[in-house]
Structure 1
């Protein structure tokens, strides 16, 4: 499902993924197994719940995503799986930060989840987990508008990533952390600078991130952020020029998360954005039908 998500987006997968999660939970409740097997099954189902939560988040199904993350935390507690708790906290924090940017959540909640993850991994050797925790904190501080704390956190994220690259071979890294690369931290940095008022610096970094991003889907998300940032700065023509190719990609990849990033371009009252608005609205309808 992770591989297919990169190709076709969460909206095309979320319904079948929820069915798989329901089947796994039903099996846990009704099967007979040893304690060791039960704990392993709890952990595996919890990892599945985090992935399904991500797909729901990508599909703008936020209450569903929260339920999946709650399931994952409960299963992690049953299995005494600290890595699963960390994994879930960081994905749930990402959702809280995204909602806070839309005025629908609080970054303080994300910071609590990030602190819990940090406490659980304190003392571990250099690795991508430390970079991701610092990157998530930088995201939250950026949304709060705290320039000093954002810059401190993003500097820590870069330092931890460089240590991880030196000391943690990618093949030894947990699968769910392998996306933590320079392009990922650069994207957090770009959005954080835009959030704290340094629009030009944020745009330059977003452009660099989109060009160096390994995954087409993540590069599209970076370009969507660049388009939205241009729209907020008042440069409508640049916003439409950057955002229109993203709409074309979203016609093949069902990601309402990325589409919502483009809402500032959609709200622009300018003749240059008329065709963009029409295509945007058509995509909203198509994705909603697919996830209904």
Structure 2
């Protein structure tokens, strides 16, 4: 146990972080988002898994990450052969391990904040080696505060025996210790904020790879943990703002899991919770995100006019954020609403805006959560609009392009776009091609659990029933009929 504050040495003054100019120079003219994409590609080349994004690159360049974790180290050295970590502007690993002199009643090694190798069976954590001069907790300047909070550690990080319902997802420690949350023995600090932000990334990554159904049954626990942190209250306003933003983003992520698994009422509640959090703290970025998802949900739930209003509200609040890609996505959300209202002109105008804004390219202002929004998603959302308008030929063309462009890493989106393609082909009078596309989706269902995709396939199967004699249709229908039915 750490010694009491009465006998502890006074904390040292906190020096400002030193920017990593060498790393910034290596990025060159690429934006942080473009450089992050290059890091992810390099990781795949050597079989690593890192969830690098623009925010991570910014943290490195600002000097907040003095030394990367081992997975990132391997990727960076692969990207820049012949260089050492020091050449890349990082500090030697030994200098940031945070060892200190122990008193007689302390256990050596008790204050090691992270394992030497990637713990919990994953290599995509954003919790890199912390700078011990900057990670101290607001209230308790002892070293044990560099560890993640007990609540968040249990809620998001532990390997344990908890699974995300589907065996393909593997252990992900979303177990929640209600007693730990109830004790609230200290106020949350920056380590809690980092842990919360990392939890949001983990959920998004798993959803991209596997779909929402298995995840949703576990995701309410970390959300309760996040709001327990808000109830405890942070000392610093900056930390409180990060916790509110993180909790709101987590509510949206959990809401999306509900949305994608067909639990529309639950999703609506989670999105409303995020919207209330955003308005309470004046967080325009969070409010735009909440309205964005609300618009998508309203479209799927058969409330197209609400979808248009929510998308337009998102555009009003999101415009000052300066992200053309965000405004492009919000225009697509509006287009989906107009399509649901059978307003072809309104839909086409919104689609044209979305395309023009997308062509402006990525920027540093793009929100982190928009990492999924690339050319493939643009094509996929446009396909959905044309499908809603009954233009099956055009819808199929965009859906095919979406599936072709999608990074093969994201099985869930490939399955989604291909299911859209199958349905458009079936309704457009091309049953043999529809069956072939449907078979490709069925091949992915051992990796992906999404009620949305299964519902789309069921609709396609009904359309194809009168076409059993067409090439491949009978085989698709038989295989689809043999699928286990979700509860």
Q: Which TM-score applies when normalising by structure 1?
A: 0.87
Alignment of 1:1-292 (within 5 A): 1-29=203-231, 31-34=232-235, 36=237, 37-100=239-302, 106-165=303-362, 168=363, 173-214=366-407, 215-268=410-463, 269-270=465-466, 271=468, 273=473, 275-283=475-483, 285=485, 287-288=486-487
Q: Do the aligned residues in 2 keep the contact of 1:43 with 1:76 (CA within 8 Å)? A: yes
Q: Measure how far apart 1:111 and its partner are.
A: 0.9
Q: Do the aligned residues in 2 keep the contact of 1:126 with 1:160 (CA within 8 Å)? A: no
Q: Measure how far apart 1:259 and its partner are.
A: 1.4
Q: Measure how far apart 1:238 and its partner are.
A: 2.4
Q: Do the aligned residues in 1 keep the contact of 2:305 with 2:338 (CA within 8 Å)? A: no
Which residue in the other structure is 2:124 paired with?
none
Q: Do the aligned residues in 1 keep the contact of 2:207 with 2:412 (CA within 8 Å)? A: no
Q: Secondary structure at the match of 2:373?
A: coil
Q: Measure how far apart 1:11 and its partner are.
A: 1.1
Per-residue CA distance 1:17-73 (angstroms, 9 max, x = gap): 1111122223323x1433613333222111100001111111111111111111111
Q: Do the aligned residues in 2 keep the contact of 1:190 with 1:205 (CA within 8 Å)? A: yes
Per-residue CA distance 1:208-255 (angstroms, 9 max, x = gap): 221112233212211101111122223333222211220221232111
Q: Do the aligned residues in 1 keep the contact of 2:406 with 2:413 (CA within 8 Å)? A: yes
Q: Measure how far apart 1:278 and its partner are.
A: 5.0
What is the alpha-carbon distance in structure 1 between the residues aligned to residue 402 and residue 233 of structure 2?
A: 49
More helix per residue = 1
Q: Do the aligned residues in 2 keep the contact of 1:39 with 1:78 (CA within 8 Å)? A: no
Which residue in the other structure is 2:101 paired with?
none
Which residue in the other structure is 2:49 paired with?
none
What is the alpha-carbon distance in structure 1 between the residues aligned to residue 269 and residue 482 of structure 2?
A: 29
What is the alpha-carbon distance in structure 2 between the residues aligned to residue 98 and residue 240 of structure 1?
A: 24
Instruction: List, as ranges, runs of 4+ consecutive aligned residues in structure 1 with deviation greater than 6 Å.
Output: none
Per-residue CA distance 1:130-157 (angstroms, 9 max, x = gap): 1111111112222222221111111110
What is the alpha-carbon distance in structure 2 between the residues aligned to residue 234 and residue 155 of structure 1?
A: 28
What is the alpha-carbon distance in structure 2 between the residues aligned to residue 284 and residue 231 of structure 1?
A: 23
Which residue in the other structure is 1:103 paired with?
none
What is the alpha-carbon distance in structure 1 between the residues aligned to residue 278 and residue 321 of structure 2?
A: 19
What is the alpha-carbon distance in structure 1 between the residues aligned to residue 484 and residue 315 of structure 2?
A: 37
Q: Do the aligned residues in 2 keep the contact of 1:139 with 1:192 (CA within 8 Å)? A: yes
Where relative contact order (Cα < 8 A, 6+ residues apart) is larger, the structure is: 1
Deviates more, 1:252-261 or 1:19-28: 19-28
User: Which structure: larger Rg?
Assistant: 2
Q: Which TM-score applies when normalising by structure 2?
A: 0.54
How many residues align structurally? Answer: 277
Per-residue CA distance 1:88-147 (angstroms, 9 max, x = gap): 1101111111222xxxxx110111111111111234435211111111111222222222
